[in-house]
Structure 1
Amino acid sequence: MEARLDFYKASPEAAKAMLALSAAVSKLGLEPLLSELVKLRASQINGCAYCVDMHSTDARKRGETERRLYAVAAWRESPFFTPRERAALAWTEALTRVADTHAPDADYEALCAEFNERERVDLTLAIGTINAWNRLAVGFRSVPAA
């Protein structure tokens, strides 16, 4: 696959805004490994090879195990994730596929059981942010380094 364009060069202002949003989200207090799992799962759903590569690499650097990384795509059938991680992954799937799911009550109830109100908002913003990055990277065919 060949990149369509470099969106960083095409619109430095847009790239700067996305980078600033990502930096702000990273300071909201969500656990770094949880954040990487969410980014990875959304990127898998969206078919973003660039982001899957980036976030699996970043998760490994933060100490995530290969076994859990491989299991993210099948987290519902895997015993490797905590209830908090499961709630975050379910919410990630619900919001990433919002046109189909409409953010089901069951997923929100699981979220409420594991996250306080502020954390719910922060996680939702993190999910929205990775989805925006995925749309840039998939739309413009960003390619991971070989």
Structure 2
Amino acid sequence: METRINVFEKGQKALSTLFGITGHLKKSALESSLLELVNFRVSQINNCAYCLDMHSKDARAAGETEQRLYGLSAWKETPYYTTRERAALAWAEAVTACHVPDEVYNETKKEFSDEELIDLTLAVTTINTWNRFNLSFPNTVGTYRVGQFG
């Protein structure tokens, strides 16, 4: 079996666009803790072990609790998340499934401004893209260090 491309070595030009989007999102009005929850949840849906490792480490380093991370796959049944976080998680799941029902849109719109909703959608589509890169060109799971990519 041929060794797969190391996308972080060979794809710097292409990936610079994704890093740019990530930079934009870090400066957006969206809370970094919210973005980490969304990144973690979408990575769960997509079964991306590398991204789960990365975002669990980043979330914990930023003060996220183990309980909230462990409960994220069952967020609808837990009391750990705010109304805003629940709206973001519902939005993330719907966008990832490529179907956003009016009910999800209306509930999310109650919590997010137009600009925030656009940025949230950008965050969801970006982590979906990162998941697909990491599933196509796997990195060694467990090797990520907090802050490794800036």
What is the RMSD of the two structures over their aligned residues, measured on CA atoms?
A: 1.5
Q: CA deviation at 1:3?
A: 6.8
Secondary structure of the equivalent of 1:120?
helix
Partner Cα separation in structure 1 for residue 17 and residue 94 of structure 2: 25
Whichever structure has more helix as a proportion of its residues is: 1
Secondary structure of the equivalent of 1:17?
helix
- Give TM-score scaled by structure 2 length: 0.89
Please tell me whether residue 40 in structure 1 is matched to residue 40 in structure 2: yes
Count of residue pairs the alignment pairs up: 142
Please tell me whether residue 142 in structure 1 is matched to residue 139 in structure 2: yes
Secondary structure of the equivalent of 1:118?
helix
- Identity among equivalent positions (%) equals 48
Listed one character per residue, the Cα deviations across residues 91-137 of structure 1 (whole Å, up to 9, x for unaligned) are: 00001111xxx211111111011111111111111111111111100
Q: Which runs of 5+ in 1 are unaligned?
A: none
Partner Cα separation in structure 2 for residue 107 and residue 4 of structure 1: 39
Which ranges of 4 or more aligned residues in structure 1 deviate by more than 6 Å? none
Match of 1:71 in 2: 71
Listed one character per residue, the Cα deviations across residues 11-57 of structure 1 (whole Å, up to 9, x for unaligned) are: 22012222122111211121010010000000000010000010011
Match of 2:62 in 1: 62
Among 108, 112, 116, the alignment partner of 1:115 is 112
Please tell me whether residue 53 in structure 1 is matched to residue 50 in structure 2: no
Q: Which runs of 5+ in 2 are unaligned?
A: 144-150
Secondary structure of the equivalent of 2:100?
coil
